[in-house]
Amino acid sequence: MREVAFIKQNKEKWLDFEKAIFGKTLKNPDELASLYIHLVNDLSYAQTYYPKSKTILYLNNLAAKAFQKIYKTKREDTNRFVHFWKIEVPLIVYEYRRYVLYAFVLFLSFVGIGVLSAAYDDSFVRLILGNHYVNMTLENIEKGDPVAVYKSGSNWGSFIGITLNNLYVGIKSFIFGVFGGLGTGYVLLVNGIMLGAFQFMFQKHDVLWESVRGIWIHGAMEIFAIVIEGAAGLILGASILFPKTFSRMNSFKIGMKSGVKILISTFPFTIAAGFLEGFVTRYSNTMPNWLSVGIILITLSIISFYYLVYPFILNKKLKKLHGII
C-alpha cells in the first residue's frame, strides 16, 4: 500500500484517537486500550513499509501519549501520587529528553562564561555578586571560614527563606518559557554566570575545595533542579514555536501540561536543598571530608538517577512489555 493511501485510510481513526488523548472526549479505559492496540499495529506497519516517513514520528508520539493516558485512567493497585512520580514524570522526561540536554548545555556554557569573565576581569565578580557580598566573603576567607555566610540566621528561617526563593526562581524559569524559551534562557544565563563567577572567586583565593565541600552539600540538588526547571521552560517555548502536527493552541496545551508536571517534580528536591542549606551546610567546616563529600555524592546521585537514568530504564522496560519500538 502506498503511504498516501495508508494515511487516508487511517486518518479519521488517528484523529479520533488524538481527540480522546488530548481533548475533552473521554473514553473508558477498555475502549482506549483497544484503540491503543490498533495504533501500535499501525505504527509497526509504518515502521516496516515507510521507515523514513514522518508518519512514524507522529504515531510514535501519539502511542507514547496514549500509554500515559491509559495508565492514568485505569484502576491500578498504585495510587495516583505514586503513579505520578514513578511513571508519568519519568516518561515525560524521556519524551522531552533533548530539552533536558539543551538546558544542561546552556547552563554549563553560561557557567563557563562566568568563570572566564571573572578570570579576565577583576571587577566582574563584584558586578555580578555585589560589593557587600564580595567584601563579606573575603572577610570570612581571612577568618578561615569561607562559607560562613550560610551560618547567618536561624535554621528554620534560612530553610524557609531559601526554599521560597528557589521555588520562585524555578517557577519563573518555567513561566518565562512563554517567550519562545528566551525568558528561560535568560534565567539560566543569570544563574549560570553567577555560579561561575562565585566559584572562581574562591578559586582565586585558594579556598575552592573549602567552598565546594560546603556549598555543594545543598547545591547539588538546588542547581540540578534549576536546570530541570529550565528544561520545562524550554519545552513550553518549543510548544509555541514548533507545534508539529498539532494546532498551535493544542501544542501549547500539551507543552504547558508536560512542563508543569516536570516543574512540580522538582519541588521536593528544591525543598530538600533548602533544608540542607538551612540545617547542614552551616556545619560543613567542622564535619569530616568523608561526610560532606558523601552527602554531596548521595544527593547528586539521587536527583541524577531520577532525571537522567530512570526515565531510560522505564522506557526500555515498557517498550519491551508492549512491543513499542
**What pLDDT score does 77 carry?**
44
**C-alpha dist (Å) from residue 57 to 50, 107, 244, 308:** 11, 29, 10, 23
Task: Give 112-116's long-range contacts (Cβ < 8 A, gap of 24+).
Answer: 112/196, 113/192, 113/193, 113/196, 114/192, 114/193, 114/194, 114/195, 114/196, 114/197, 114/198, 114/200, 115/196, 115/197, 115/199, 115/200, 116/196
Cell of 21: 488523548
The answer to whether the CB of 107 falls within 8 A of the CB of 192 is yes
The dihedral built from the CA positions of residue 53, 57, 59 and 60, taken in this order, carries a sign that is positive
pLDDT (tens place) for every residue of the chain, 325 residues total:
778 888 888 888 888 777 777 665 555 655 666 677 777 778 878 877 787 787 887 888 787 777 766 655 554 445 778 888 998 899 999 989 999 999 999 999 999 999 999 999 989 999 999 999 999 999 999 988 888 888 777 788 888 999 999 999 999 999 999 999 999 999 999 999 999 999 999 999 999 999 999 999 999 999 999 999 999 999 999 999 998 777 888 889 989 999 999 999 999 999 999 999 999 998 888 899 999 999 999 999 999 999 999 999 988 887 666 554 4
The three grid cell numbers given for residue 167, joined into one nine-digit string: 521555588
Helices of type H across 87-181: 89-95, 97-120, 124-129, 131-142, 155-175
SS (H, E, C) 23-58: CCCCCCHHHHHHHHHHHHHHHHHHHHHCCCCHHHHH
The pLDDT assigned to 218 comes to: 95
Torsion 240-269-167-113 (CA) sign: negative
Other C-beta atoms closer than 10 Å to the C-beta of 89 total 22
Q: What is the Cα–Cα distance from 231 to 173, expressed in whole angstroms?
A: 9
pTM: 0.77
